[in-house]
Amino acid sequence: MKNLAVYFTGVKKVEVREEKIPVIGEQEVLVRALSSVISSGTEMLFYYGFVSTETPMDEKIPLLTRHAEYPFKHGYAVVGKVIGRGEKVDPTWNDRLVFAFHPHESFFSAKPSDLIVIDNLEVEDAVFTANMETAVNLIMDGRPVIGENVVVFGQGVVGLLTTSLLALIPIHRLVTIETHEKRRAMSIGSGAHASLDPGKLDVSEPTDHLFGGKKADLVYEITGNSEALEKAIQLTGFGGRVIIGSWYGTKKRKVKLSSHFHRHRIKLISSQVSTLAPEFTGSWTKQRRLDITQEMIHRIRPSRLITHRIPVQEANKAYRLLEQKPDETVGVILTY
């Protein structure tokens, strides 16, 4: 058996290296990966080199707490099967299907407490656990209200899952903004009332065709492009909320914060899945949010967003696809 691990070795440079299969400790298990999904948001920022080397890759994931200095492993969404256990691990862990916040590689060791059991989910649905948890967190931070007008900028995997969750709520009208035609079609299939090309959206003109002459009450910016944030602000009405789920890294920000922003008292709210918003911590825990995440995976079946399945040994091909053909790619997973 080969342990193949994906490394970023430079800007837009990916290598698959063969490593030794980990030796597990007495309180650890050995997991054989089955599938992992490439994050087209945060992970691709690292691929493009748009992250400062002073920034930890992820302060909440042990293997990603180091700084982004080449070479390094990345990725944080893998499903696998437990194939070995230490002597102090309960035998019931044998053969369990699990999700882990772990980089792309064929075999890895972990403590059972760091794994999420997914026995009741299909592998290709469960691999989107991190993406769905982010979408659930976006909904919690946005707090959509019955009858509101909502806009979602960006229909990548997280954007499409957010749209799918919003479609379960009786809001008045749900409009998405997305550059690529394939994703716009998937957005309509996910429950959006309309999905528009941002190149044809002039926010300086009246938007009667969107909400009957009104502005949006709630807008999500999930494109990773700060230019979209400026348009999001312009589409938001008096007292409205703009939820920023994007991380721009070191890319230049182009946000003007015009008079519309100030005079209409628009709220800009950051949303990050590593934590819960303080106002939820009285009755919510990460485990409760994760339980809801798994319920939503059951209901929405995110495997329908998969457009490409690529063997891990061809990982470089997967990243090039996301870079060069975003009009064709949505969910790109590595198989093992």
State the CATH number of the domain containing residue 68. Answer: 3.90.180.10
Reported pTM:
0.93
Written as six digits, the tokens of 159 are: 């954007």
Within this chain, do residues 179 and 251 fall inside the same structural domain, yes or no? yes
**What SS3 state is found at 106?**
coil
Q: Which of 233, 263, 278 is the last residue of a domain?
A: 278
What's the pLDDT at 115? 97
171-209 residue pLDDT tens: 999 999 999 999 999 999 999 999 999 988 876 655 556
* Cα gap 254→260, rounded to integer Å: 16
Question: Which is nearest to 204 in space by CA: 258, 150, 153?
Answer: 258
Handedness of CA 310, 316, 317, 319 (dihedral sign): positive
Q: Is residue 285 part of a domain?
A: no
Within this chain, do residues 118 and 136 fall inside the same structural domain, yes or no? no
Number of domains in the chain: 2
Q: Regarding predicted confidence, which is higher, 308 or 253?
A: 308
CATH number, residue 244? 3.40.50.720
Handedness of CA 99, 101, 103, 108 (dihedral sign): negative
Within this chain, do residues 199 and 150 fall inside the same structural domain, yes or no? yes
Q: Is residue 86 part of a domain?
A: yes
Within this chain, do residues 137 and 274 fall inside the same structural domain, yes or no? yes
pLDDT higher than 80, residue 152: yes
What's the pLDDT at 144? 98
Within this chain, do residues 108 and 241 fall inside the same structural domain, yes or no? no
Q: Is residue 292 part of a domain?
A: no
Q: What is the mean pLDDT of the chain?
A: 92
Q: Regarding predicted confidence, which is higher, 257 or 186?
A: 186
User: Which structural domain range is residue 112 located in?
Assistant: 3-122+301-335
Q: Is residue 265 part of a domain?
A: yes
What's the pLDDT at 9? 94
Average pLDDT over residues 218-245: 93
Lowest mean pLDDT among 41-50, 139-148, 246-255: 246-255
